Amino acid sequence: MKRVYVNEKWCLGCHLCEYNCAFANSGKIDMALALKDKPIYPRIHIDGDEKVPFAISCRHCTDPICVKSCISGALKSKDGVITVDKERCVGCLTCILVCPYGALTEGNDGVATKCELCIENSCESPACAAGCPNGAIVYEER
């Protein structure tokens, strides 16, 4: 299965992936309208420091502890892709508590938000990888 990987050697820490992700999942057609002067809720995040920055997002684990721990049945694994049913999620944040990769966050609606590989939105492939200016983020099979 293809997943998003980040080559930390090439990551510039430019945060463009965060904007591309937030825009891709905003449901809006205009990036400025979607993001300008608003708090953004990306599903990929720059971690690390200035010297060694790197983007992190959901690993789509083969044995996902977030799914096993979900108290509402909102987190599911569909053909290996871990998704959140926002209608079902009650925002308890148990998934954030257990994810070893720090990959889930609380979204603007108070429910769990995570990378779903841009499958549910209108992008054809993950927007973070497609828009990475230095080719650090890739979407591939490993």
Ligand X SMILES: Cc1cc2nc3c(=O)[nH]c(=O)nc-3n(C[C@H](O)[C@H](O)[C@H](O)COP(=O)(O)OP(=O)(O)OC[C@H]3O[C@@H](n4cnc5c(N)ncnc54)[C@H](O)[C@@H]3O)c2cc1C
User: Could you list the residues that contact another protein (CB under 8 A)?
Assistant: 3, 5-6, 8, 47-49, 52, 54, 56, 59, 61-62, 65, 68-69, 71-73, 87-88, 90-94, 96-102, 104-106, 110, 142
Could you tell me which of 11, 43, 41 has the C-alpha nearest to residue 115?
43
**Is residue 33 near ligand X by the rule CB under 6 A?**
no
Cα(44)–Cα(116) distance, integer angstroms:
10
Q: Smaller CB distance to another protein: residue 73 or 135?
A: 73
Q: Which does 100 bind (CB under 5 to 8 A by kind): ligand X, another protein, none?
A: another protein
Report the nearest approach of another protein to the CB of residue 57 (Å). 9
Q: What sign does the dihedral 101-102-107-111 (CA atoms) show?
A: positive
Give the residue from 46, 45, 59, 44 showing the smallest Cα distance to 2.
59
Site pattern 83..112 for ligand X (x: CB under 6 A): ---------x--------------------
- 110: tokens are 């108070």
